[in-house]
Amino acid sequence: MKVCHFIASRGLGRGEFYVDLVNELSCLCDITLVIPKGSHYLNRVSDNVTVCQYEHKNSRKNPFLLWELRKKFLEIKPDIVHSHFAKATEIFYLLNRLLNIPHVATKHNPRKGNIFNRVRNVIAVSDQVKKTINNPAVHVIHNALSPISIAPRKLRPDKFTIAAVGRLDPIKGFDLLLRDLANLDVKFLLKIIGSGSQLQYLQGLIKSLGLSDRVELMGFREDIPQQLSEADMVVVSSKSEGGPVIALEALFYGNMLISTPVGIVPEILPPDLLVEHGSFAKKIEQISQDYENYAERFKQLQKLHQPGFLLSNIAGQHIKLYREILGYNDAV
């Protein structure tokens, strides 16, 4: 089976789950990845994956772009094309009026994307994302990861240590988290890991809230699993998410997790660990006072949910769906 994944984005940062997916799938079938020239994630793509880069940019209806991509798909001759996000899905939907290749598209976030209402086969990365798609043929297949080995956790620090990870972007809600934690009556240290456009704004906010000795902006880090393991708690404060990646990482490496009810989080956390903005300080104080019990509860949640988010299992679910779409007899 020859599968072609199509991505029309050059990439934003850590959240390129589709790269991990194509790498894993390349161990199971013939994979070609069609991407824009200069994509930031190219160095992460496995040598087992055939990479096909295209030149043209601008509008998704640019006739030169469409002509170039049409030629590439005809040369690749895939059994099925798997597009990611709205832009790639719209482009291939247009092309496929002529190509007539079996097509499945993944919607990675809950933002608007009317194209997913028209594509015949759609994958949603969470139940929340599925609810945004008006299409009877929607399959929920989660994002996933392959856990790595990390050093054992050191002794717990004197301060209650909280890790928050993500782009410094308004959608991540770090400003709201900071305003909330200014009211936290616990000796704590918040480590915000990530880079982005809100750096100066958050630096000023931390100073104005009197949190300079309790908050560290750590910038981009490669050792996020280790950072999560060393923290007492991971906090997700996002306003909207498809995943988020950090929730998966906390599921494998963290000691405790609370989050706004975004993405996959309501599927892995009980209601009392789902927190709305304005309530983080109260919940963190409550957990810090009964930490051992909360940490043990989270260990049980990890044991329950980790198998469902292993990349090897998720890749198998994709292969099964491809075979169903293609009408293979063993796809039951």
Q: Can you tell me the mean pLDDT for 167-190? A: 96
What is the predicted pLDDT for the residue at 150?
Answer: 92
First and final CA of the chain: distance in angstroms? 17
Q: Which fold has domain 2-146+310-326?
A: Rossmann fold (3.40.50)
Q: How many CA atoms lie within 13 A of 109 on its CB side?
A: 16
Angle at 188 between CA 283 and CA 285, to 5 degrees: 20
Helix (H) or strand (E) holding 233: strand 233-236
Q: Can you tell me the mean pLDDT for 16-21? A: 89
Strands 103-107 and 122-124: parallel
For 309-318, what is each residue's pLDDT tens digit?
999 999 999 9
Q: Can you tell me the mean pLDDT for 244-265? A: 96
Contact 52, 32 (CB under 8 A): yes
Q: How far is CA 253 from the centre of its chain?
A: 16
**Band of the pLDDT at 21, cuts 50, 70, 90?**
very high
Contact 174, 192 (CB under 8 A): yes
| Number of neighbours of residue 61 by Cβ within 10 angstroms | 10
State the span(s) of the chain assigned CATH 3.40.50.2000. 2-146+310-326, 160-306
Dihedral sign from CA coordinates of 210, 213, 215, 219: positive
Q: Can you tell me the mean pLDDT for 5-11? A: 92
**Band of the pLDDT at 61, cuts 50, 70, 90?**
confident
**Band of the pLDDT at 152, cuts 50, 70, 90?**
confident
Distance CA 187, CA 192 (A): 17
CATH 1.10.8.60 fits 160-306, yes or no: no
Residues whose CB is less than 8 angstroms from the CB of residue 25 and which lie 6 or more positions away in sequence, other chains included: 3, 31, 315, 318, 319
